[in-house]
Structure 1
Amino acid sequence: MRFPRLSSRFRAILMAGTGAGLLLLAPSVQAQAPAPTVEPAAVVAAPAGSGPGLWVVRDADSTLYLFGTVHVLKPDTAWGTRRVDQAFASADEYWFEIADLNNQDGVVPLIQAKGLSSQRPLSSLLTAEEMADLDLAARTVGSTAAQLDPLRPWLASLQLALASIQKAGYVAANGGDQVLHARAAATGKPIKGFETAPQQIGFIADMSEEAQLAMLRSGLKEFDQAEAFLDRMVTAWSTGDVDGLDSLIGQEMKAESPEMYAVMLTRRNQAWADQIQTLLAGSGTAFISVGAGHLAGVDSLQAQLEQRGVRVERIRD
């Protein structure tokens, strides 16, 4: 089956990481609808299929579980499995992309420094037709092209993406990392992060202007296609279809923007693999949760580890 295409910005937000950092960028968008409360001990309904993928790395005195999440989900998305619950409960510590999802230190100054440009407004970079498309999309979320004009292309693109995601019924409070963060906090065990929110924002803000404009233009063309695509993507994730995720996320992103693919996936997977090797040199059990896009494809976190001689095994019921 051929899936409809959707721009790299949605893939980056949903599954390629950057979840917490980028979701902090649009408080005005998120405030349009109240986010449901996530109960730390709440049981997530089981999916119809085998459930999201879960992997493990072991040596003589260490066990490290690798689990992929979607950063925003609908309230009724089913993804819980017994094997994930057991692995999570057995952990001595928990690792996420960001240790504290609510810590916005450094975010606002970074957006002001890298997200705004009075010298190169969007109207100087886009055609009149593209500005008209931007205005049409912006008005569906209570804004205008004139209000977005001072934004750099990356920030305008993400504002529209986050708005589309929320309009489709997807919210951050239901995201897998939010649920698992709450559970981890309830255990009182250590919670650690591979990155910070400013780092995550910086990854995309520091892309070339050409790559940023390509992302924005693609998003404008596909603004109304979000819900159907996101539903298919989440179905692939929640049923453990890793090849499907690679096709929808990694392969599409690589074809659309090799620069974004390298920035958002490959380089971060390499850095995380280095950190996981350090964990493996120690002892104990850790549950590692990152965006699901990092655990699919030829440049996945598992592939990076295996290139270093680390054996990664998928856990199946």
Structure 2
Amino acid sequence: MTFSHPLKSVAARAARLAVGTALGSALALSWATAPVAAQEAPAVAAPATATTADPALWVVRDADSTIYLFGTVHLLRPEVDWRSDKVDAALAASDELWLEIADVDDQAAAMPLIQRYGLAPADQPLSSTLTEEDRAKLDAAAGAIGASAAAMEPFRPWLAALQVSVAAIVRAGYDPGSGVDPKIKAAAVAAGKPVKGLETMEQQFGFFANLPLETQVEFLRQALDGYEDAPTELDQMVDAWVRGDIDAIDQIIVEDMKVEWGDVYEVLLVDRNADWTGQIQEMLEGSGTAFIAVGAAHLAGDDSVQAMLQQQGVTVERQ
């Protein structure tokens, strides 16, 4: 994999990749609910957010089907008010809820998958993939998030990178329980609506685990350089998301991932969007009303789910 380097800091690129994961993969929420740090997170004041919440919502219709598309942020500060009347009305009108993965908050299911996909062979500890400089940075970052480099020794590089990035965001005040996905899921369950998944948790682990080793190591290196900036980057993107500013999400996250992380962009966004587009086409062949909530990065840019649907002749309207 080749990485391009325009005039921006490595830390900014790393922070944006971490934020892109938070906007584009429910696995960030699954991992954030695992015990990644022993210390209490310091109190951090939340930034100002838009006074009127208007996160973007789209709808696809045919003669007997209605499908709502809603972009989510998998981790949020508890203070963020994102609910809007149109989102609540669409969810209430829907017969079923579709998330990236239905069991995203099921730690019992996640832990054996972490062992299968996230742990390296005993003769290939994490430190064996890193330079001396990398190991020093890992030790510093681990201490900052209340963990230890020794505890990460069994991890494959992608898992260590995700732990560093997500733990930094959580310790800055972001709460996986306050993310959009668990809130929407709880509302659907309370209303007696079935909750389904476009993917399985095992598939999402596989997306990361199947990345080439050199890509995983580069992911970790940039995470180590940018973990302190990730919360600030996510603050900015949450403000844009609450306002429904899809262009900002596209330019700051999606386009950045496309340029800087071609392979990761293809795996985490493009390929999955294509798969989901096919599933939505199958839903349209049936009948009823469905509410689909996926990471906001999937609904921004030229390779978004909406763009792929429109390329196939399906009309997608923003509400």
TM-score w.r.t. the length of structure 1 is 0.89
Give the deviation of 1:85 after TM superposition.
Answer: 1.2
Structure 2 match to 1:39: none
CA distance in 2, matches of 1:99, 1:33: 29
Check whether the contact 2:207–2:267 (CA below 8 A) recurs between aligned residues: yes
Structure 1 match to 2:187: 183
Do the aligned partners of residues 200 and 84 (structure 1) sit closer, same or farther apart at CA in structure 2, a change above 3 Å counting? same
Structure 2 match to 1:97: 100
CA distance in 2, matches of 1:107, 1:23: 11
Give the deviation of 1:14 after TM superposition.
Answer: 1.3
| Worse-superposed segment, 291-300 or 104-113 | 104-113
CA distance in 2, matches of 1:198, 1:32: 29
Give the deviation of 1:24 after TM superposition.
Answer: 2.9
Give the deviation of 1:222 after TM superposition.
Answer: 0.8
Check whether the contact 1:96–1:290 (CA below 8 A) recurs between aligned residues: yes
Which residue identity is paired with 1:107? A
Which residue identity is paired with 1:25? W
Give the deviation of 1:76 after TM superposition.
Answer: 0.6
- Gaps (5+ residues) in structure 2? 1-7, 42-48
| Worse-superposed segment, 193-202 or 294-303 | 193-202
Give the deviation of 1:12 after TM superposition.
Answer: 4.0
Alignment of 1:163-178 (within 5 A): 163-178=167-182
2:24 to 16, 23, 29: 16
Matched, 1:287 2:291: yes
Check whether the contact 1:69–1:177 (CA below 8 A) recurs between aligned residues: yes
Do the aligned partners of residues 152 and 280 (structure 1) sit closer, same or farther apart at CA in structure 2, a change above 3 Å counting? same
CA distance in 2, matches of 1:31, 1:133: 19
Structure 1 match to 2:233: 229
Structure 1 match to 2:44: none
Matched, 1:29 2:32: no
Alignment of 1:20-169 (within 5 A): 21-25=27-31, 27-29=34-36, 47-49=50-52, 51-104=54-107, 107-117=110-120, 118-169=122-173
- Gaps (5+ residues) in structure 1? 35-45
Residue by residue, what CA displacement relative to the aligned partner does 1:38-94 show, whole Å, maximum 9, x if unpaired?
Answer: xxxxxxxx9424611000001111111100010010011121111111111111111
TM-score w.r.t. the length of structure 2 is 0.88
> What is the SS of the residue equivalent to 1:57?
strand
CA distance in 2, matches of 1:120, 1:128: 16
Root mean square deviation of aligned Cα: 2.1
CA distance in 1, matches of 2:290, 2:307: 19
Which residue identity is paired with 1:239? R
Matched, 1:312 2:316: yes
Residue by residue, what CA displacement relative to the aligned partner does 1:155-203 show, whole Å, maximum 9, x if unpaired?
Answer: 1101111210111100110001111000000010221110111111111
Check whether the contact 1:203–1:264 (CA below 8 A) recurs between aligned residues: yes
**Dislocated runs of 4+, deviation >6 Å:** none
Check whether the contact 2:75–2:178 (CA below 8 A) recurs between aligned residues: yes
CA distance in 2, matches of 1:173, 1:30: 16
Check whether the contact 2:70–2:292 (CA below 8 A) recurs between aligned residues: yes
CA distance in 2, matches of 1:32, 1:264: 31
Alignment of 1:272-283 (within 5 A): 272-283=276-287
Residue by residue, what CA displacement relative to the aligned partner does 1:131-155 show, whole Å, maximum 9, x if unpaired?
Answer: 1011000011222222212211001
Structure 2 match to 1:214: 218
Which residue identity is paired with 1:188? G
